[in-house]
Structure 1
């Protein structure tokens, strides 16, 4: 084409039909910069539209909640649905846009309006990657219509610009099979030729919560029955509610009441999905990860919690070789955001326990694969082979801190626990009772003293072993996070083996304590026995222990500066519990205000503490790509 020049050499505007013989230019755009708006007039969403990093790239939500509460929990005959049928229903399981009229769960993709199209122009759209894992809708005449292979776009629609909505049918399960990417291709054909453009989006990563996200609500099981144990447990729930409100948590407790599994930390792990919504505001969906142990209590996540902005994900996988407890989510905690060794974890990093004793037993491969496939929180495995239950929450926690890093590690310290007893014995208090909990003498005849504990055949040896194991795990955490000794809170603790029974040892083996009181309901005893059987089948050569004095690190972070610990019930000297004093001092030095709640008969005797029996819903409003 020859352009006319003026006398001064300036280029004149070409005739309107100068490009009539060239194919129309297609320009498809998504929210690449994650501000909630698809820029079709500027260039803020053009760079990197087919790439994806933690900081940049279009995001869509796996639409697994139930906005309209349409998913049933029973069949037409009134009987409960199977686990598979419960899990099969969510907003993405049909071809409709469910819930809010503004379709806030859909990520938007827009085409730049195409002016001057030939009269015979028409368009088509195809999902070229991730079609099986996603669904694309076309907004036509104010309504959302599913895009199919038969969908055709008119010249008028192409001229005006087209709006698409994208949802995921599921979370990323295995990045080797699907890495979360969905590619959408818009093609326009006319007498002047064919042109096309493609944009790529990625499913929002499924993320677990960390301690820097404020606690918004507590969850706990509330058991039925009129037996003494059940009454104690309900009293615990009342006191938990009081502590929650005192800490400024305004939302009421979420109580699980149907199945009687008291270990609310174990059958569910709260997580979340997030993107910037089309209105420019953060769009967050809570996701309840159901334990892979097929525990019946997990059904209540579908029956009671699933609904608007709350979905449920079930990850199976039974490759535990007799130690199913590692699939409980007390064995999943999250290190707060950090950067170390050239790696950045803006949403924190998961830790889980495995058996590093040559057995090769670790959490389910399916769970580990799913968590790693999100691409942000690559699980770090620690050694919990020395613990009966084998959960990381039995010895380590993470606490908010007014420091440049923003957090500290709280670690159980058996050496400090032994030193408390030795100091008391040195000062002439060896005859003091080891435990001050009312009514416990009947389980430890005769009443155990500090002298008895220190002269025990196993207690000192077991805690020296536990100290070595904890030190080895702490070394790994320091290496992987860069945290220093000054950022570690040492909390006095004591552990005890519970499998070996020896007539020379005055301590009652924990095996006999586990749900072993006559007042414990059958369900609690049965589950306790099941937990022990799982560990026994593993035939571990390593001595395994559980908390002797209630494990203080196995508590609940109520707010940035308030911590709820299990009541210690240690030796009382001079009118004061020496373990309570020491635990309070440790947390106070870390800037925390400590309160206590009694869990001796309800959780401690079942080899758990209040953290094991509760769960927390945390604030996930901060964008994970900006942390």
Structure 2
């Protein structure tokens, strides 16, 4: 909608002066009507700004999920100007690392930076007088967006005081807009950017506003094709060289499986001794329609609320053209909630509509310690909710020692009307495998077939011994009950049916340190002292003592958790090698897991993570991360 200010000035023709006996004054002609300025944006999101027709007129001052102009938070580094060190070669602080990106200055950085601008155009004013001029500025908080103007010499920063010439306005002006940050707290700024074009001709002034909204930062779901896999590549530890080599072996195996799945980009290795690549970052993205009519996206790597040192590798190895990094300010979590802020505790339900609600970009799930008052950090929860697209849903992970949703739930692409199924860890099925083996006379078989390594002794426990252990049975009954309760929440929210659930055999147990593991120094996620290296002094004794005690024993995966793997394609799944009881030459759990995924249309490959991740409280998924396709428009159902 145009808002116009019409100014008409008339000077008396001498009548008043004559009546008063004064000398008559020469009459001055009234100015003509003010120019009808019309600023337009890509309201219909087709990748072009229509200044000839009316396709981009309706709704230019409003914004909905399906209609309204979108602007990108330009937080990548197209010119690769951002560094890791200062002028004297000293490492930059996390805060300084985060401040460097394309929107941190008022120039376009690199040839590709112009592609990140949302375009605005003014309808040409061919009859505008020579003395006319215009200005364009951001209304409200001007620091949230920046305007550029396209001129013969390229794109130039347009200050609020910079004049647009009459010649430019006659031809029609092309502007580019960038948001200077992502939306962090919608209560403070919801991403709205309003641009006003003002044109003055003589004493007449008119203006027009258009409204844009900053694209939400979205997390990936498994219907988006895997494009690149990330993993940590640790340095050689002179004290524990065998552990370093075991991690390198894991990386080599991962590279083989990624290539076998048809992913053409090589595995990207992050040089950090934090092996939990899933935990210090969640890959996200923002997108708008590009000039070619297809989504133009920037990847936004969301650093965990813990600010783990491994997250610095995101700046060193990923930040660059079309990839930015976001870290959240504010109070950091206590020791007790640290693990909930690892990004293994964030997964995304694929797109769905149910109960009058639609999530075309999917919906986030995270775990909380229900009943203990422990949730993910407020800074992260506020950030995710403020995107206004994926409405985070909390599940109960109080029964898990680590407490991550990826330990018992995943989402699998499916050739069904919904387009996906739910993969669910099933302790009841895991116990049934043991009962069937015992009934067949194999109760004396060892529970684990993994070899002893690095001075660590694999438990010699038999199937019969575990089935006779009341604590083990109680742990799995509780796990089964908790998983079923979480399933009911997901079914209520998504409309998922029992037939759409893929149940994968699993077992859970209270953590018992294997003989020799303490000497290795590799306690991973379960080493309480390790958190002090994440952020020294993060939680003092008072904070730790104030944390409520668990209401019941917590558990971890006993046999490597099969659902804690990687969906590499819509037909190939990478699971942790099971190392379960071997009967008749076959791993009982390995075979059962393979059959479960086969019924869902997947070929399962196995990667050995027993020493590199499993004994540390995680699996293949915990040690990796995936950059997925961004070509699907988030605003379309």
Same fold per superposition (TM over 0.5): yes
Q: Any idea what SS the aligned residue of 2:627 has?
A: strand
1:530 counterpart residue number? 530
Q: Any idea what SS the aligned residue of 1:245 has?
A: helix
2:94 to 83, 90, 93: 83
- TM-score w.r.t. the length of structure 1 is 0.91
1:330 counterpart residue number? 344
Mapped pair 1:71 → 2:74: no
Q: Any idea what SS the aligned residue of 2:115 has?
A: coil
Number of aligned residues:
595
Provide the C-alpha distance between the structure 2 equivalents of 1:118 and 1:75, rounded to a whole number of angstroms.
52
Distance of aligned partners of 1:102 and 1:310 in 2 relative to their CA distance in 1, 3 Å threshold = closer
Distance of aligned partners of 1:531 and 1:394 in 2 relative to their CA distance in 1, 3 Å threshold = farther
Mapped pair 1:164 → 2:175: yes
1:140 counterpart residue number? 151
Provide the C-alpha distance between the structure 2 equivalents of 1:479 and 1:56, rounded to a whole number of angstroms.
29
Could you tell me whether the CA contact under 8 Å between 1:229 and 1:520 is conserved in 2? no
- How large is the Cα RMSD of the aligned pairs? 2.2
Could you tell me whether the CA contact under 8 Å between 2:434 and 2:463 is conserved in 1? yes
Could you tell me whether the CA contact under 8 Å between 2:328 and 2:380 is conserved in 1? yes
Mapped pair 1:356 → 2:370: yes
Shift of residue 159 of structure 1? 1.0
Provide the C-alpha distance between the structure 2 equivalents of 1:484 and 1:445, rounded to a whole number of angstroms.
39
Q: Any idea what SS the aligned residue of 2:438 has?
A: helix
1:5 counterpart residue number? none
2:264 counterpart residue number? 250
1:270 to 262, 273, 283: 283
2:43 counterpart residue number? 32
Provide the C-alpha distance between the structure 2 equivalents of 1:120 and 1:79, rounded to a whole number of angstroms.
54
1:298 to 308, 311, 318: 311
Shift of residue 115 of structure 1? 2.2
Provide the C-alpha distance between the structure 2 equivalents of 1:424 and 1:528, rounded to a whole number of angstroms.
37
Q: Any idea what SS the aligned residue of 2:114 has?
A: coil
Provide the C-alpha distance between the structure 2 equivalents of 1:617 and 1:474, rounded to a whole number of angstroms.
27
Mapped pair 1:542 → 2:542: no
Shift of residue 148 of structure 1? 1.9
Provide the C-alpha distance between the structure 2 equivalents of 1:625 and 1:96, rounded to a whole number of angstroms.
30
Structure 1: 5+ residue stretches without partners: 1-17, 499-508
2:115 to 104, 116, 128: 104
Provide the C-alpha distance between the structure 2 equivalents of 1:101 and 1:556, rounded to a whole number of angstroms.
32
Shift of residue 198 of structure 1? 0.4
Mapped pair 1:173 → 2:184: yes
Q: Deviations over 1:376-422 (max 9, x none)?
A: 10100000011011100000000000100000000000011111111
Structure 2: 5+ residue stretches without partners: 1-28, 534-538
Provide the C-alpha distance between the structure 2 equivalents of 1:102 and 1:230, rounded to a whole number of angstroms.
40
Provide the C-alpha distance between the structure 1 equivalents of 2:149 and 2:454, rounded to a whole number of angstroms.
71
Provide the C-alpha distance between the structure 2 equivalents of 1:91 and 1:29, rounded to a whole number of angstroms.
25
Structure 1 runs (4+) greater than 4 angstroms displaced = 440-446, 523-529, 531-538
2:608 counterpart residue number? 598
Could you tell me whether the CA contact under 8 Å between 2:402 and 2:526 is conserved in 1? no
Instruction: Output aligned runs, 1:6-405, within 5 Å.
Output: 21-100=32-111, 103-191=114-202, 193-225=204-236, 227-257=241-271, 259-316=272-329, 317-320=331-334, 322-357=336-371, 359-405=372-418
Provide the C-alpha distance between the structure 2 equivalents of 1:66 and 1:206, rounded to a whole number of angstroms.
17
1:616 to 617, 626, 629: 626
Could you tell me whether the CA contact under 8 Å between 1:565 and 1:610 is conserved in 2? yes
Larger deviation: 54-63 or 450-459? 450-459
Distance of aligned partners of 1:321 and 1:74 in 2 relative to their CA distance in 1, 3 Å threshold = closer
Provide the C-alpha distance between the structure 1 equivalents of 2:211 and 2:309, rounded to a whole number of angstroms.
39
Provide the C-alpha distance between the structure 1 equivalents of 2:597 and 2:317, rounded to a whole number of angstroms.
36
Provide the C-alpha distance between the structure 1 equivalents of 2:443 and 2:134, rounded to a whole number of angstroms.
87
1:466 counterpart residue number? 479
Shift of residue 579 of structure 1? 0.7
Q: Any idea what SS the aligned residue of 1:273 has?
A: strand
Could you tell me whether the CA contact under 8 Å between 1:215 and 1:249 is conserved in 2? yes
Could you tell me whether the CA contact under 8 Å between 2:278 and 2:623 is conserved in 1? yes
Larger deviation: 415-424 or 101-110? 101-110
Distance of aligned partners of 1:230 and 1:554 in 2 relative to their CA distance in 1, 3 Å threshold = same
- TM-score w.r.t. the length of structure 2 is 0.90
Could you tell me whether the CA contact under 8 Å between 1:40 and 1:110 is conserved in 2? yes
Distance of aligned partners of 1:419 and 1:139 in 2 relative to their CA distance in 1, 3 Å threshold = same
Could you tell me whether the CA contact under 8 Å between 1:321 and 1:361 is conserved in 2? no
Larger deviation: 311-320 or 579-588? 311-320
Q: Any idea what SS the aligned residue of 2:60 has?
A: coil
Q: Any idea what SS the aligned residue of 2:484 has?
A: helix
Q: Any idea what SS the aligned residue of 1:323 has?
A: helix
Provide the C-alpha distance between the structure 1 equivalents of 2:448 and 2:246, rounded to a whole number of angstroms.
19
Distance of aligned partners of 1:50 and 1:239 in 2 relative to their CA distance in 1, 3 Å threshold = same
Could you tell me whether the CA contact under 8 Å between 2:305 and 2:379 is conserved in 1? no
Q: Any idea what SS the aligned residue of 1:476 has?
A: helix
Shift of residue 320 of structure 1? 4.2
Instruction: Output aligned runs, 1:360-509, within 5 Å.
Output: 360-439=373-452, 447-498=460-511, 509=512
Provide the C-alpha distance between the structure 2 equivalents of 1:559 and 1:144, rounded to a whole number of angstroms.
41
Distance of aligned partners of 1:540 and 1:101 in 2 relative to their CA distance in 1, 3 Å threshold = closer
Provide the C-alpha distance between the structure 1 equivalents of 2:60 and 2:605, rounded to a whole number of angstroms.
51
Provide the C-alpha distance between the structure 1 equivalents of 2:495 and 2:462, rounded to a whole number of angstroms.
41
Q: Any idea what SS the aligned residue of 1:64 has?
A: coil
